Amino acid sequence: MKNKQMKKILIILFIILPTFVLQAQRKPKGYMLAHKAKLYYDRRDYENALKMFTKLLSKNPHCDSAYYYRAIIQYTKKNYQAALVDAGQAIKYNTNNAKAYYVRGQILSHLKNYNEAIKDFTRAALLVPNNANVYYALGLAQNNVGDFENAVNSLTSSIKYNKGNNILPYKQRGYANYMLKNSKKAISDLNRMYEIAMEKFPERIEKDEWIFRIRAWAKVDAGMYQEAILDFDKAMSIYALNMSTFKGRGLAKIHIGDYDNAIDDLTRSIELAPKDAPSFELRGVAFYKKGIYDEAIDDFNKAIALDNKDAVAYYYRGLSHEMMGNNENAILDFAQTNKINPYFDGLEQVKGATSFAVVGVEIQDPNNNKNIEKNESVTLVVKVKNTGQNDAQNVKIKISDNNNNPGLLYNKVEYWGNILKGETKELFIHVDATEDLSGTNANFIFLIKDNSDSKSSPYSFCKNIVFVSLVSRIILSCKQRHSP
């Protein structure tokens, strides 16, 4: 009986052993080393894992997986250049290793080489097109290089494949939309981020100063000034040393006419960042709105000293000089505004505000000699378009000759009535010469306003300066554009 059992065991061994031997022969070179290295890696014993993967590569130098894992370990140990080399080797031996492209992209992003990182993330996305993490990393890198339109697309894909359950893509897409001036979309994304976070970790999101600050800036852009102030208040309660928060809240308060508190906020912004030109510029605007022109000019001087391309500072300094009767300085500032940006259109018009643009000036001279002689009358035909978002009511134009030629007679104020949204109207200004003006110029300044100035935003008017030389018929139109 025992002999029969022994015979069966031997038969089974003869059948099984060759199979084991065959399987062992089929294992790739260094299989046991790879297995052991992976066990160390899974246990986060990176020192021993690194040794095992290195030993494995000495036996199998073309093993892309070993390079991939070693790259992760080196990245974890902050050996970034070594990690970069290993990730590159993994890609060299397997050009379809999506994980290796992803890891190398992460390393490059950490080293702030975002353009190269974008190439790796793009390649990874082609290899694994449904991976939410890859699209998120790609969108983040695109945000970092200012490619916000592509960032929105990448982050939208990340949200799609994450089924909308991850706050980070919403955060980054919200930022991209904010930078693209898609204010409502930015607010929507940041609101969604907040909703998800409140469900998962409410205590943490309530301490995230960033979301409240960026959402507040988006609300400023959208004209939601009171709501913006509430978000700035929340951000400030979390962290009270961010100059951007004080600057943004100051801007929102300018928009609602709370100039005193705006000045306080902008003063704090300047204390935190004494070389930030926009803070001086905005505080200068607040002083200008309060009628404190000397302090406004002082702030605009400082803004221009920090940034001599600040068109808004030149423009408002020109307005301040004009209000103080310094017309020559005003003309120089308006000319500089136009030089910096010929399409500058004042402070950005708020929703519902009116804005004007001089779209043409003609001189009707009876004898067509481009001169105005003694006892001659000429007509200036000024074409003004309402480029704002609402109809303009009770429009008036103030006219002044900066050279104060005593021999010119004209109405100092003309009334236009209403100008519909998008409508262009012509105003005829009759100028009579009572003296010989040979060799002189008449530099006319036009200030165009409507009655929304007093009942809507403080930025609801646009000043257009037109210099008209009756001798050489030179026309210079200065259009303004809004500050940040």
CB atoms within 10 A of CB 223: 18
How far, in Å, CA of 88 to CA of 70, rounded? 11
Per the domain annotation, does 437 fall within a domain? yes
Q: Rounded mean pLDDT of 385-406?
A: 72
Give the mean pLDDT of the chain: 81
Grade residue 352 by pLDDT with cuts at 50, 70 and 90.
very low
Q: Over the stretch 43-71, which tens digit does the pLDDT of each residue have?
A: 999 999 999 999 989 888 999 999 999 99
Q: Rounded mean pLDDT of 167-171?
A: 95
What pLDDT is recorded for position 457? 29
* Containing structural domain, residue 476: 356-480
What pLDDT is recorded for position 467? 37
The per-residue DSSP string of 245-257 comes to HHHHHHHHHHHTT
Of 32, 76, 29, nearest in space to 50 by CA: 76
How far, in Å, CA of 112 to CA of 358, rounded? 46
Per the domain annotation, does 422 fall within a domain? yes
Per the domain annotation, does 476 fall within a domain? yes
Per the domain annotation, does 301 fall within a domain? no
Residue 393, domain CATH: 2.60.40.10
Distances from the Cα of 288 to the Cαs of 220, 276, 323, 390, in angstroms?
A: 20, 19, 9, 25
Number of domains in the chain: 1
What pLDDT is recorded for position 351? 29
Per the domain annotation, does 402 fall within a domain? yes
Q: Over the stretch 399-440, which tens digit does the pLDDT of each residue have?
A: 766 566 777 787 777 777 888 888 888 888 888 878 766 656
- Cβ–Cβ < 8 Å for 330, 319: yes
Per the domain annotation, does 200 fall within a domain? no
Per the domain annotation, does 388 fall within a domain? yes
Per the domain annotation, does 409 fall within a domain? yes
